[in-house]
């Protein structure tokens, strides 16, 4: 029997299989950060994909913490009510757990969507804003220099994370994920390439972890044990002098000690000139495998060019991870998990309105290869 289609308990939640949909930014909200019709279509489609849980795109905890002016936010009650309605509507046809990812983009905030000038920084006249970061180091040459956060600024952002988490609970999410990966603010604190501070928040790995762990602890303290709480962080960077894998494992140990229900291990995107092997299948799996080896009792998610069912199952069989995040493949094939189940000889659970078509096959169907 494949592990890919075996159940798994994550905190108090039992997942039906090991496939999760990771956050994928859509840049399709209005400037108010409220969910739009596109999000209803997008998340609704993912909720009937056959995956065991769906994680939303990154929601900004402050207006200036969004990646773009068209990213979702959770800094006010209007946004929370719209999110609540979206979840209520989806639950009329899907019981797939849906969670939110909470984020502050730091020095990578205030940009255009990637299809406009490749995500260039926006001036104030274009709807952009001045950014903040651990240090006054821009994301890349030509970008504005961010303001180095002082302790009151860090405290304000910490409180914003807490407020956003409380709004997520009011909206009725099934779980939440803290984003400390991919070059956004908490990830910027962790990396020596972006954190060049000389105070208690920079220098040694312990100091660089200090603010991310303050945020992580604060969320853990207010988040109920009845709902899972996870965190996504980088296992390393594809650039000289960046975050080391051993440091990432050290960070993972602290998160596990705080009681996080799962650890989602990503990598990179903290500097513009990194050189990741992005076309290589499973190129981030070694990061997750190292965390899993160090913390065998932790629930670990891996990601990164995993798009074949046998490949995903082998990662699980080799105990390199417990859950597989499948993103691009599900956008390409909205029923990838169902097709993967068929390819692996497992029972496929189609949405009831589709079952009479999908489960019996039809002449034009091309089965997925395992």
For residue 106, give both structure tokens.
């730091």
* HEC letters along 13-37: EEECCCEEECCCCCCCCCCCCCCCH
CA-closest candidate to residue 347, choices 363, 333, 358, 357? 358
| Strand, coil or helix: 175 | strand
Distance CA 239, CA 275 (A): 7
Q: What is the signed CA dihedral for 55, 115, 120, 25, rounded to 10 degrees?
A: 0
Catalytic residues: 184
CB contact at 8 A, 309 and 343: yes
How distant is the alpha carbon of residue 63 from its chain centre?
19
Residue in the structure block whose two tokens are 């069989």: 317
CB contact at 8 A, 91 and 52: no
Q: Looking at the DSSP assignment, which residues form a beta bridge with residue 230?
A: 177, 262
Distance CA 356, CA 159 (A): 50
CB contact at 8 A, 180 and 216: yes
Instruction: Give every CB contact of residue 364 below 8 A, 6+ residues apart in sequence.
Output: none
């Amino acid at each position: 029997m494949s592990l890919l289609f075996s159940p798994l308990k994550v905190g108090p939640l039992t997942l039906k299989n090991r496939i999760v949909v990771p956050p994928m930014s859509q840049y399709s909200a209005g400037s108010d950060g409220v969910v739009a019709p596109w999000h209803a279509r997008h998340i609704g489609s993912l909720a009937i994909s056959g995956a065991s849980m769906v994680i939303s795109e990154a929601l900004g905890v402050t207006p200036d913490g969004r990646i773009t002016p068209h990213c979702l936010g959770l800094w006010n009650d209007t946004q929370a009510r719209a999110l609540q309605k979206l979840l209520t509507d989806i639950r009329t046809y899907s019981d797939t757990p849906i969670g939110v990812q909470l984020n502050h983009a730091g020095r990578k905030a205030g940009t255009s969507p990637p299809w406009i000038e490749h995500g260039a920084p926006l001036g104030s006249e274009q709807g952009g804003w001045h950014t903040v970061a651990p240090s006054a180091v821009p994301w890349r040459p030509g970008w504005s220099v961010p303001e180095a956060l002082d302790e009151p600024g860090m405290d304000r952002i910490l409180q914003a994370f807490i407020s956003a988490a409380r709004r997520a609970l009011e909206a009725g999410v099934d779980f939440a994920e803290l984003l400390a990966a991919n070059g956004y603010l908490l990830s910027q604190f962790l990396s020596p390439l972006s954190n060049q501070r000389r105070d208690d928040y920079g220098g040694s790995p312990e100091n660089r972890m200090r603010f991310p762990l303050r945020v992580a602890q604060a969320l853990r303290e207010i988040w109920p044990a009845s709902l899972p709480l996870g965190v996504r962080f980088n296992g390393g960077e594809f650039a000289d002098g960046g975050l080391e894998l051993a440091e990432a494992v050290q960070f993972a140990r602290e998160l596990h000690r705080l009681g996080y229900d799962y650890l989602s291990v990503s990598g990179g995107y903290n500097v513009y000139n990194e050189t990741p092997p992005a076309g290589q299948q499973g190129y981030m799996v070694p990061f997750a495998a190292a965390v899993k080896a160090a913390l065998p009792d932790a629930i670990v998610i891996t990601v990164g060019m995993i798009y074949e069912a046998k490949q995903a199952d082998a990662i699980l069989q080799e105990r390199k991870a417990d859950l597989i995040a499948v993103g691009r493949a599900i956008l390409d094939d909205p029923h990838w998990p169902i097709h993967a189940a068929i390819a692996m000889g497992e029972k496929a659970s189609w949405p009831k309105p589709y079952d009479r078509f999908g489960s019996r096959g039809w002449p034009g169907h091309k089965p997925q290869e395992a």
